[in-house]
Structure 1
């Protein structure tokens, strides 16, 4: 599923292969100027429109494969994928999915965010992380259903990233560093902000911090389970700030984003 449709950008191999083969259907249907098209017109179609062509039993295997694609894609879908004069298989593939574009794609897959942070943020938005409430739904026996960090409440996405005392302290440190309250501290309001889909420079910085915070909180949660100890809020916040600083300077040096210069100067003074 493409990232714009809520997936990870991985394609179904069989469907993608059919979309690639549909280019030849488009070439024949639009009668592009090539020797192969002229040969197809002379040997098979003989003046008949491709959509109305009746497949014969003695046709070659590759021609049968192309003709069978008419059962997968309509003539309008194929022609729409080549409206610009160049056939775009990705457009045909995406249109065949019948999915809606998700509003959070710009926030989760922000270009300044580290890929591993973006992946974990995608997991959080969709509530895919194996928190103990999700494990309980799978009827997996657990020693405890409480939050492994503070052990005071039932562990869920909302509790781990917003209601846990340690998470609140981490957010307080990050907001203090940024100089403002960058996002809501309730899961429902937080997802609403992600769905706004803003792509300006400040939103990119906020999304990068948000993804880094979520990653470090989840990492510390696993540390509590497997190593038996937790870092302090100040240590985790310091790790987040260091990651964000390195990432911003790295992106700036490679692509020279002028709209980030003000924030970068602020970081340089810290």
Structure 2
């Protein structure tokens, strides 16, 4: 780790020094060298299909972080921990009916499916992104709800692993609804189309 950090810092110094001459940053065809160096350090960032779902401006940052980890299969689920010989079991903490992979925990776990179904019923829309007739605001709410749902499923999994108790799906659904409503009210502008206003009122969100 220390060797990699040292190499990275040396490369940063090399990039920055290459653009600094006589106490000034040199200009090139694209602008200041420091800007070019900054973009080089960032590296390429190709947009992926789930990018907007995860990093929408309405999403709660800590929910987006978990969503990003899920999208990259970066969470330390039991399947990973079992293969690393850290866990003595690979079964799902929430349902104990299958191996705890990302696909299972957020797609086919019976506990997770109850929560997802409850949120979809509340919204009157799918969390899977197949809502073709949504307004832009409705898409933002669905993304917000999706990230919140994933976050709470993962949070319940962690709490169950530590305390061996699992909250009822109905209670988790109510928690998700509450935090989604609060975030919507925080983000709302003074004006919105009647279609969006009527939809939010149907979700018991006072406008």
Cα deviation for residue 205 of structure 1 reads: 1.3
Correspondence for 2:205: 268
Q: Is the contact made by 1:22 and 1:89 (CA closer than 8 Å) also made in structure 2? A: no
The verdict on how the C-alpha distance between 1:264 and 1:92 changes in structure 2, with shifts beyond 3 A counting, is farther
Where do residues 172-183 of structure 1 align in structure 2 (5 Å cutoff)? 172-183=117-128
Aligned length: 191
CA distance in 2 between counterparts of 1:201 and 1:88 reads 39
Q: Is the contact made by 1:16 and 1:93 (CA closer than 8 Å) also made in structure 2? A: no
Per-residue CA deviations over 1:88-108 (Å, capped at 9, x if unaligned) read 844542245542423233221
Cα deviation for residue 113 of structure 1 reads: 0.7
Coordinate RMSD, CA, aligned: 3.2
Q: Is the contact made by 1:108 and 1:207 (CA closer than 8 Å) also made in structure 2? A: yes
Structure 1's unaligned 5+ residue stretches are 1-11, 31-77, 185-192, 194-198
Describe the SS at the equivalent of 2:81: helix
**Counterpart pick for 1:129 among 75, 85, 106:** 75
The verdict on how the C-alpha distance between 1:137 and 1:200 changes in structure 2, with shifts beyond 3 A counting, is farther
Correspondence for 1:9: none
Using the size of structure 2 for normalisation, the TM-score is 0.77
Using the size of structure 1 for normalisation, the TM-score is 0.60
Correspondence for 2:175: 239
Per-residue CA deviations over 1:127-154 (Å, capped at 9, x if unaligned) read 11010111133332x2321111111111
CA distance in 1 between counterparts of 2:74 and 2:191 reads 33
Cα deviation for residue 19 of structure 1 reads: 6.2
Per-residue CA deviations over 1:140-176 (Å, capped at 9, x if unaligned) read 2x23211111111111111111111111111111110
CA distance in 1 between counterparts of 2:191 and 2:69 reads 28
Q: Is the contact made by 1:248 and 1:264 (CA closer than 8 Å) also made in structure 2? A: no
Describe the SS at the equivalent of 1:139: coil
**Counterpart pick for 2:146 among 197, 201, 210:** 210
